[in-house]
Amino acid sequence: MEDARRSRGSFGESIAARLFLEKGFTILERGWRTRSGEVDLIVQDGRGIRFVEVKTRASAAFGLPEEAVTRRKLRTIARVAEVYLDKHGLQHLPRQIDVVAIRTDTPGAPEVRHLEDVGDGFG
């Protein structure tokens, strides 16, 4: 079960990375980790840096993917983001947290929703 979940997560991160590349972003990191936690994707465009949580679900039986991104998770992403910004000397850049929600149980291609600037993290 764990391997299937990890595989689904990696699949979702690849979809999200492609989405950002198609929108003209540069992928800076995938799966960037600190002691405080992990950020699935770190991307940049001409306006700033986005720290992206990717949630992939095989069904809506336990809710929509984005519903799994709690306030606690947003705070963790914000802490990890601050470490990243400090480490790379990028504190001056605008930043936000985005969520990419993916459902793979939809007919045809997976359903992908990009929720921008979900807030809470950098208040």
pLDDT digits (tens, 9 = 90+) for 69-120: 999 999 999 999 999 999 999 999 999 999 999 999 878 889 999 999 997 6
Question: In whole angstroms, what is the distance from residue 12 CA to residue 100 CA?
Answer: 9
| 53-79: average pLDDT | 93
Question: Measured between alpha carbons, how far is 92 from 18 in angstroms, rounded to an integer?
Answer: 27
Other C-beta atoms lying within 10 Å of the C-beta of residue 41: 23
CB 118 within 8 A of CB 99: yes
Angle (CA) 79 81 20, round 5°: 140
Summary mean pLDDT of the chain: 91
